[in-house]
Amino acid sequence: MRSYLLVLALLAVTICSTEAVLKRRKHRRLRTTTTTEPAMLAAARLFPPAAGAARGDEAEHLELGMAERLDETRFQESERARVNEIMNEVGDENNGGNEVFMEDPCLKVHCSAGRVCEIDEHGDAVCNCIKDCPYETDSRRKVCTHHNETWPSDCDVYRQRCLCLDNSELCRGPQYHHVQIEYYGACREMPECLESEMSDFPRRMRDWLFNIMRDMAERRELSPHYLHMEREAEANLTRRWTNAAIWKWCDLDAHDNDRFVSRHELFPIRAPLMSLEHCIAPFLDRCDEDDDHRITLAEWGKCLELDEYELEDRCDELTDEAA
């Protein structure tokens, strides 16, 4: 009984210290010190500007907000690991030095967006809707949904969707059962994409895809086969855009490998760029040439103005090697 109370006391101290640090971190700029960046952060940083245009403060504003989200996520993960380590140490001390492994069941559970892992009365890990999202005053946290509504943060959007899916009385209405983030940043009227801008967009998109691929290769975040494709593109300029296009299409389709990229699977490209590139939405709409909400590799290549004969389905190789 005494050891059980000691574990609870240590956990309480750890949780309190974690919450205090998180509150302090909310009021200052956080720096990302590791090499891993989410695709949305890389997109905002590496997308080439239009000819004669310069990236303004808005891009830096968005990038800093994304870096803070990533930093807080890493901090929370490290704290969970630290709590688990404390539990194991206490277990060792109170069992005569015998090795006893007390593992937090939530460490092996991945909850969907809007949910958090909690331990129920039976000691099992369950994914419940987030009770409260942090109160946000920073405009960099805002997101715009497909209802053209500005929300304080992505946490608030995902929490609301979770509440509606669970038929909670806190659900604002049935229209939020499938609410989605359209883009990062406050909702605003997007300027029309001029034909001159659209005509140059495929080139910029091709450059961006290769920039992302090369950046991930430099940070050693590509699998051996992806890395081979990147090295091939570096050595043979005729393969630069084609290899990058194939890689990204396969990457977007990696969830179900059905040889189609759905509108939902385009989210990693669409959401982070819309606040910065008003042509991204109409460009991606044009990629779905037959308007069936699925983009084939041929449609993807045509949209990027690549020759169809240069495109080849290499997703099997990527999938097999990843497995």
pLDDT tens sequence across 221-240: 888 888 898 999 999 888 89
Q: Are 301 and 311 in contact (CB under 8 A)?
A: yes
Mean pLDDT of the 292-320 span: 80
How much of the chain exceeds pLDDT 90, in percent? 33
pLDDT band at 15 (very low <50, low <70, confident <90, very high): very low
Close Cβ partners of 88 (under 8 Å, ≥ 6 residues apart): 100, 101, 102, 103
pLDDT in tens, 21-70: 344 333 332 222 223 334 454 455 566 666 555 544 444 444 444 444 44
CA angle 27, 149, 170 (to 5 degrees): 80
Are the CB atoms for 90 and 3 separated by under 8 Å? yes
Task: Average the pLDDT over 89-97 and give the result.
Answer: 54
Q: What integer pLDDT is reported at residue 267 of this predicted model?
A: 85
H helix intervals, 26-136:
39-46, 57-93
Please, where are the H alpha helices in the chain? 2-25, 39-46, 57-93, 154-165, 195-218, 224-235, 240-252, 267-273, 280-287, 297-303, 315-322
Q: Find the angle CA(274)-CA(113)-CA(140) to the nearest 5 degrees.
A: 40
Spell out the residues 6+ positions from residue 249 whose beta carbon is closer than 8 angstroms to its own. Answer: 261, 295, 297, 300, 315
What is the pLDDT at residue 26? 36
- For 122-137, the pLDDT digits (tens) are 888 899 999 999 888 8
- Report whether pLDDT(85) > 90: no
The domains of the chain, with CATH numbers, are 1-102 (no CATH), 104-188 (3.30.60.30), 195-322 (1.10.238.10)
| Per-residue CA distances from 122 to 2, 103, 196 (Å) | 21, 15, 62
pLDDT tens per residue, range 145-155? 989 999 999 99
294 and 260 Cβ atoms separated by less than 8 Å: yes
97 three-state secondary structure: coil
Element (H, E) at 174: none
Residue 212: count of CB within 10 angstroms of its CB:
21
| Global pTM value | 0.62
**Terminal CA-CA length for the chain:** 46
Question: At CA 263, angle to CA 228 and CA 242, rounded to 5?
Answer: 25
Closest CA to 252 of 211, 217, 209: 209
Cα 176 → chain centroid: 21
**Per DSSP, what are the bridge partners of residue 151?**
143
pLDDT band, residue 101 (cuts 50/70/90): low
State mean pLDDT over 194-200: 93
Q: Residue 278 in contact with residue 191, Cβ under 8 Å?
A: yes
pLDDT value for 24: 37
Sort strands 181-184 and 143-145 into parallel, antiparallel or unpaired.
Answer: antiparallel
Percent of the residues in the chain that have a pLDDT greater than 70, as a whole number: 65
| Average pLDDT across the chain, whole number | 75
Nearest to residue 263, comparing CAs of 289, 294, 292?
294
Q: What's the pLDDT score for residue 301? A: 92
Q: Reduce the DSSP state of residue 144 to 3 states and report it.
A: strand
Joined tokens for residue 289? 């040439």
Number of neighbouring beta carbons within 10 Å of residue 39: 17
What pLDDT, on the 0 to 100 scale, is given for residue 139? 79
pLDDT at 52: 53
pLDDT band at 253 (very low <50, low <70, confident <90, very high): confident
